[in-house]
Each structure stands twice: as C-alpha cells, then as structure tokens.
Amino acid sequence: MHTAVQPRAAQKGGGAAKAIRVAVAGATGYTGQELLRILSRHPAVTITAATSSGATAARRLPALAHIFTGEITPLDPPSLAQDADLAFLALPDKAAAGLAPMLVEAGVRVIDLSGAFRLRDQALRARWYPETHALPEGLAYGLTELERPSVEGARMVANPGCYPTATLLALRPLMSAGLIAQGADIVVDAKSGVSGAGKTPSERTHFSEVHGSVAAYGVFGHRHGAEIEQGAGCQVNFVPHLMPLDRGILSTIYVRVAPGTTEEALASVYERTYGGEPFVRLTGAALPEIKHVAHTNFCDIGWRVDPSGRAVLVSVIDNLLKGASGQAVQNMNVMLGLDQTTGLL
C-alpha cells in the first residue's frame, strides 16, 4: 500500500510541455528502474508505457513509490508502437534484436540499451550477437560526446555498453589525436560493480560470493572487448573484474604514448575534446574515484605519463547512469533537440 499522492507530472500539470510520449520496455530491471526514475522527472516527456515480462508485471517497485506512479504492464509491441513517439529498450539482447526493427519500421524512435546493435561489423556481430540480423537505417552509436552529429539525426540509437563508455571516452580522443604509440599493447583493466550483471540472481551475484572478494572474468571472451576494439580501432587487451560494490566502473588503461608526449599534451587534447561538455570532468593527475560519480551521469577522467612514455588513464562512471540509462536519456535529449542535461543534473 502507498499513500495516494499524485505523480509529480500530474501535480505540475504542464501537458503541453511534456509532449513527447515515451515507453520503457523492460522497466523492472536495474536499468529500467533508473529510466523510470529519470523520465518521471523529465520536463519534456510523458511515460505512456512501462512494460515487463508477465511474471514481474505486477511487481512492486518500492524505491519508485511517489516517483513513478504509473502501471507496469506486459509488453505488447503493437500498442507500444501506437502510444509512444520514442521507446527505450532495456531488454535482453534477443528480445531487443526482434523488437527494435519493428518499432523503427513503425516510425517509433528507439534507444536500445541492449548489445544487439552495437557492433557494426557483420562477422563480429555474428559471433557476439547472432540474434541480430541487420542494422536498421538511421542507426547511431550513442557515445554521446563523441558521436553527437550522428545521434542528432538518428532514428535509432545503440546505447553503448558500460565498459566501452568508460574506456572509450578516455582512450579515443588520444587515438584520434595520434598520441598513442602504434603497435604497443593497450591494456584495459576494468573494475565493475555488481549491478552491471543485472538483476537475475545467480551464484556470481550472490552477496556471499562477492563480499570480501574480487574476481577477473571473461578473459579473452567478453563482448564488450569487441565493442571497445571497434571504438578504438585496434586490438585491446580487455579484462573485466567484479568488485564488491553495487554501482560504478573504474577503467584503468595502460598505453604507450608517442615519444615526447607529456601529461600536458594529454590535458590539451582532453580539454579540446571535452571543454564544453557538462558530463565529462577532467581531473588530470588527481585520479578519479568511483565514489565521485556514483548516482550521476558524469564521466571523470584522469591521467599520468612518465618520462619513458608509459601512460595510465583512469576513467570512472556510474554503470547504470552514464553507462546505461543516464546516457540513454542524454541521447534522447540530443535526438529531440533539447539541452542534453535536461533531467540529468
């Protein structure tokens, strides 16, 4: 039971202002709930559908009481297509692979948080996401700060994975500027909280297995590795680790920089790239920590270079926000021509 308080949107009225109708498919998982939380407060949208699979449709979402006061309903693609201008898919890869093209076809703009449409290369996709048959036209890769032009005009956005978001925001500007030594190994040692593994209970996510422990997993076999390599344009040695915390990713990136490259040179590239960006904060030699970005849409980036040309980049995000739902709404804002921070600060 909950007290009968009106949803905030209703309290504030403003029907005209909240003209965009959005749907969230997969609303009860961790990313789905974050979407509901953000979108319920977003001044430009109305949530017209929040769906879940049958079993959890009636589920209570106690953390969202007084915030999202709509109903969770079973997913019904035709009615979703009819009732929404834009749909967020927070679904398993396979479900998203089937639903997204149909929605795009029906004229609904789609922001897909699954991995199904992230890889452009057909062969890689066949390996990691075999359920994805083709890429819809008008598809953008939603690493917002680095792909804004294509997101602006997109009919559909493949929202990046959490590890690639943290890693590529730090790595790509240096690659583009030619500061990374060619041929040298790039190591990405990433540390993630458990919410990235999703809400389904498993031995890997059992509290007693994670608490007081740290574990590497997916060595040479994690599909975010392929996504990072796509973004970096070269081979990357990516190893994710599970940490005893709920939210957040810290990616430690080991590279060789071109001879003579200094910390100041990196600072200069980063400032040129992110100087006007509200969600990227540059910390320089004072390396960032997960605590600073938890529960925000920020990505904090720090770096160190030693005289021998070794560089260490550290990038942190909240995996559920900048690594998933926050960036998804940021992409929506860009697609709709809104201030990209709307609803996110």
187 binds its own copies per the rule CB under 8 A:
yes
CB of 121 to its own copies, least distance (A): 18
Using the minimum distance from each CB to its own copies, give the nearer residue, 78 or 182: 182
| 114-173 residues near its own copies, rule: CB under 8 A | none
**Which own/partner pairs from 143-151 qualify as long-range (CB within 8 Å, at least 24 positions apart)?**
143/168, 143/169, 143/231, 143/327, 144/279, 144/327, 144/330, 144/331, 144/334, 144/340, 145/169, 145/273, 145/274, 145/277, 145/279, 145/280, 146/172, 146/173, 146/273, 148/334, 151/331, 151/334, 151/335
Q: Return the residue of 15, 54, 62, 107 that touches its own copies, per CB under 8 A.
A: 62
Number of residues that bind its own copies (CB under 8 A): 89
323 binds its own copies per the rule CB under 8 A:
no
Q: Is 156 helix (H, G, I), strand (E, B) or coil?
A: strand
Q: Is 299 a catalytic residue?
A: no
Q: Return the residue of 212, 259, 260, 337 that touches its own copies, per CB under 8 A.
A: 212
Using the minimum distance from each CB to its own copies, give the nearer residue, 122 or 213: 213
Contact window for its own copies (CB under 8 A) among 3-11, 106-114, 222-230, 324-332 = 3-11
Query: Residue 278 is encoded by which pair of tokens?
Result: 């509200």
How far is 302 from 310, CA to CA, in rounded Å? 14
Catalytic residue among 116, 162, 180, 243: 162
10 binds its own copies per the rule CB under 8 A:
no
314 binds its own copies per the rule CB under 8 A:
yes
CA within 13 Å, CB half, 290: 19
Using the minimum distance from each CB to its own copies, give the nearer residue, 41 or 155: 41
How far is 341 from 121, CA to CA, in rounded Å? 31
Diameter over CA atoms, the chain: 65
| 16-55 residues near its own copies, rule: CB under 8 A | 30, 41
Using the minimum distance from each CB to its own copies, give the nearer residue, 54 or 211: 211
Using the minimum distance from each CB to its own copies, give the nearer residue, 132 or 195: 195
Q: Return the residue of 39, 47, 168, 282 that touches its own copies, per CB under 8 A.
A: 282
CB of 229 to its own copies, least distance (A): 13
Q: Is 63 exposed, middle or buried (0-12, 13-18, 19+ CB in 10 A)?
A: exposed
CA within 13 Å, CB half, 26: 24
CB of 260 to its own copies, least distance (A): 17
Q: Return the residue of 120, 127, 133, 199 that touches its own copies, per CB under 8 A.
A: 199
β pairing state of 249-256 and 310-317: antiparallel
Per-residue binder mask for its own copies (CB under 8 A), 224-263, x = binder = -----------x-x-x-x-xxxxxx-x-x-x-x-------
Residue 58 backbone class (left: φ over 0; alpha: ψ -120 to 50; beta: rest) = alpha
Give the catalytic positions in this structure: 162
